Amino acid sequence: MDFGGLFVLALIWAFFKLVSRSREESSPPPARRPPLPPTAGNDPSQQEGRALERFLRELERAVNQGAAAGPVGRPAGRPLPPAEEVEEREVLEVAPEVESLEREPRRAQRARVDQDDEAEQVIARRAASAAARLGGQTAADHRKFDQQIRRQPANHTATRGLTAQQLRDAIVWREILGPPVSERDH
């Protein structure tokens, strides 16, 4: 049995039941059809059929009452107000506010660096640096550099060797992924 379908039917039935109660208060009760004769047995499908039959009768009665009466909460003889009056009752528009998003960015003031005051110190540093580079390399410098090179691993600059199968695979993949032969530079 489909529970979702029965749930939707129950919601519809409850809605129409509420509508019919509000209509019954404002109009005399209509003539009822005779009830269905009771059937023998408690077959669930028969019980469901009887429940649907009762629901359809109440739905038909609510629809028939709706045709005789006007919309809910308004007598049938009273006309609806014109649509323009309804529209003019409440205005939802608000005056637009214009705000400029163009503003000057706020930046911290730059620190002034003036080397004129420190000119003698700058000149002394440059002279010391030039003097350090001016002399040639000594034997001690060569030994220091030699020790530095020898500390590095032997295969520091070596590349790993590729096998023949890896080279074949590389050529195949170049053919697959590379540009067509007609567009290659020869």
How many other CB atoms are found less than 10 A from the CB of residue 62? 19
Residue pLDDT, tens place only, 66-90 = 665 555 566 667 777 666 655 556 6
Among the residue ranges 89-98, 134-143, 172-181, the one predicted with the least confidence is: 89-98
> Are the C-beta atoms of residues 31 and 64 closer than 8 Å to each other?
no
Residue 51, φ and ψ in degrees, nearest 5:
-65, -40
Domain residue extents for the chain: 3-32+50-68
Quickly count: other Cβ atoms within 10 Å of residue 13's Cβ: 18
pLDDT digits (tens, 9 = 90+) for 150-165: 887 766 666 778 889 9
User: 84 near 43, Cβ under 8 Å?
Assistant: no
> What value does the mean pLDDT of the chain take?
78
| Whole-structure pTM value | 0.20
